[in-house]
Amino acid sequence: MFPTNHKTIFVLDHTPYFGISSDNPIDFDVAKSRGPGYVPLPPVCKSLWTCSVEAAVEYCRIVWDLFPEGKLVRFVVSDSSAHILNTWATTQQNITHILNGLCLVGPVRRGAGGDVVGLCAAIEGLAESSPTQATRPPPERHFQNRGRIICITSARDDDSIRSLAEIALNTLVQQNKKASTPQPPTTGDATTSSQNLVVHYCHLVIINVTPEKADTRVNNQPVTEMGGGLMSVEVIVCRASALASLLGRLVLPHYKLAITTVTGIPMKEEQNASSSANYDVEIIHSAEAHAGLRATQTAQEATESVVLRWWTPRGAEGGAGGCNGPLWRVTPADVASRPSACLVNFLLNGRSVTLEVPRKGGGRSASHVLAAQGGELWIGALGGRTPYDDPPALSEGAGGRVTDYRIKEFGALMQQNKLHPLRGAGSNARSRARLQRHTTYWPLTISSTLIFNLGSVMEPLTRLVVQESLTEEEVDSCRGVLLSLLGMESRHEFPSAQLPSNLRGKSSGRREEQWRQVWGELEALIRAHSASPAHRALLRTLLECRSHNNHGAEGDSSRATVIRATTDSPLSPVGAGNGNGSSDVWAPRNVLDALLGAPRPPRRPDFAGRMAAGSRVATLYPHLQQDVEAPH
């Protein structure tokens, strides 16, 4: 479950010997000399310490660039004591933390000390559980705890290396013995979780570093097992100047990585913008990205490095979207080089690049795609059919021949239910609850609904009612919608008159039936949301409205009162319901009261002539004279 590369510890020798020069001069005066009298600068040599630090840091950079989590690296600096620069904690797993620690350690100082103390500290470090290992409950702690120690040191001869390895093995055995003895029962749960783990396997890589011209009596040793498979030791002899490239090579098998050379990247020169030169950039990524290439290669071809040619992107084609398989993170092998920086910036700016296998015989075949996502670089392998290609047409499946889906409205719903990166738990649940509310009454097609097609007439009711709670004003504006509908109905208008012209023809049918549908749908909509008190108040209003208009012949009279009570148009008669005290035995009521209050008992409709006359004395037979004159 936990591979060896889950935990890696670097042990850096910080003894005085590492203060000596690597004897690999770097000349800064590369530019042509600037006339006579110009004193050339003396070349600079890095110390062995500088060489080992920068190589180890570069190793970490590659690991952490490609594995933001799950691959942990620690540093132990060893001189007279072991300086532990970081723990397995995620917050300390980054280069800045390491560099700050190295600043505090400082350059090599005089004094005694050696690599042994650091190596022992590193072995103890392997026994400490990583954050993911610590999350395992004790009964599941049967996982293999493995790790790797890379010790950069300099020894006199093979014997001292051998004794170093033996000390490491002894420490490991002793430590495992301690870890496997059961804890005294008195210790509580808190201590058992921090209890050291048994180390099941340790891969010890000893790198023996020497200055450029110094002789060494240490020889390379292939991986040898010690302690019955508990530890395997490997010794590599290396010049300080080659240390960085050695670790750059070692990181590949340690993390199953591979290098691709992207060749033929056209780049414009600053000095000569009209032409472009071609550059190569090496990128590192999981070796799995090459599986497709390797699968069809012979054993001989498979040992060669992978070179892929840049395929200049044309238009919008390509991109990681065309890649059906997995993507793997990518990091440049040489971050500091100009071509690498150009490629990285090109990708980070949102372009993507297709890579092809260079073919001698011509003919192109795209093999990989490079793209950035979320500020990280990725490589994906192209090619191969997918088992889901040539899908059945959606139009032939279930629901495929229905043409009036409310696609635009669902689009609006999707926009309202867009996800954002939030903090804290329960975000998903909140989002699902919101979707639940928004879809409680949601007809799929245009022809199955009237109220959602009425547009402005229903605003803002349809928008507000899906909210979790309603304010007083929101309830009022929803009531306003209901009342205006009631008004429309009383004026014998067709609800379909409000439909966009292209829909009007479709929802024909009798007026009463249309209104019945409107009220029915409204009830379904509001009832579905009647969780909060405000929603229930709205529902009561709606039920009032329905009870006023759903009664056929027997309720004609009461209907008339409601109509009068609720219509407010200048054309409507000034009548009994409208505050005319002399003609109405009932106290005047405003619209809201009329709707919310108990329905008044049915009463005889007032004399039409008096209603028309208002406050004046009603005239009897006003048309009598006209009727007489008309035939003439």
- The residues in 394-433 that bind another protein, with binding defined as CB under 8 A, are 394-402, 405-408, 410-411, 413-415, 417-428, 430-432
Tokens of 140: 């599941």
For residue 21, the minimal CB distance to another protein (Å) is 8
Near another protein by CB under 8 A, which window of 49-57, 478-486, 534-542, 567-575?
A: 49-57
Distance of CA 291 to the CA centre of its chain: 27
Tell me: does residue 442 bind another protein (CB under 8 A): yes
Task: Identify the residue among 96, 186, 298, 349 touching another protein (CB under 8 A).
Answer: 96
Q: What is the pairing mode between strands 201-210 and 221-226?
A: unpaired
Pairwise CA distance, residues 165 & 171, whole Å = 10
Tell me: does residue 620 bind another protein (CB under 8 A): no
What H or E segment, with its residue span, contains residue 243? helix 243-254
Pairwise CA distance, residues 38 & 570, whole Å = 101
Which residues, in sequence order, are CB contacts of 135 under 8 Å at separation 6+?
Answer: none
For residue 448, the minimal CB distance to another protein (Å) is 2
Near another protein by CB under 8 A, which window of 169-177, 205-213, 264-272, 501-509?
A: 501-509
Which residue's CB is nearer to another protein, number 41 or number 630?
Answer: 41
Angle, alpha carbons 343-346-348 (nearest 5°): 105
Site string for another protein, 315-354 (x = CB under 8 A): -----xxxxxxxx---xx-xxxxx--x--x---x------
- Give the C-alpha distances (Å, rounded to integers) separating 620 from 303, 307, 410, 612, 625: 114, 106, 59, 11, 11
Residues 226-245 that bind another protein (CB under 8 A): 244-245
**Identity of residue 300:** Q
For residue 145, the minimal CB distance to another protein (Å) is 15
Q: Which residues of 119-144 are buried (b: 16+ CB within 10 A; e: fewer)?
A: bbbbbbbbbbbbebbeeeeeeeeeee
Which residue's CB is nearer to another protein, number 360 or number 401?
Answer: 401
Pairwise CA distance, residues 227 & 169, whole Å = 7
Task: Identify the residue among 16, 61, 263, 477 touching another protein (CB under 8 A).
Answer: 61
**Residues in the chain, total:** 632
**Identity of residue 116:** V
Please, where are the H alpha helices in 456-599?
Answer: 461-464, 472-490, 501-504, 511-528, 533-549, 556-566, 591-596
Task: Identify the residue among 50, 263, 477, 572 touching another protein (CB under 8 A).
Answer: 50
Which residue's CB is nearer to another protein, number 103 or number 112?
Answer: 103
**Identity of residue 95:** I
Residues 127-146 that bind another protein (CB under 8 A): 136, 140
Which residue's CB is nearer to another protein, number 38 or number 621?
Answer: 38
- Bridge partners, 207 (sequence order): 152, 236
Site string for another protein, 369-388 (x = CB under 8 A): ----xxxxx---x-xxxxxx
Residues 67-86 that bind another protein (CB under 8 A): 68-70
Tell me: does residue 99 bind another protein (CB under 8 A): yes
- Give the C-alpha distances (Å, rounded to integers) separating 119 from 104, 172, 174, 411: 20, 10, 14, 61
Site string for another protein, 289-308 (x = CB under 8 A): --xx-xxx------------
Which residue's CB is nearer to another protein, number 381 or number 483?
Answer: 381
Task: Identify the residue among 141, 200, 351, 434 touching another protein (CB under 8 A).
Answer: 434
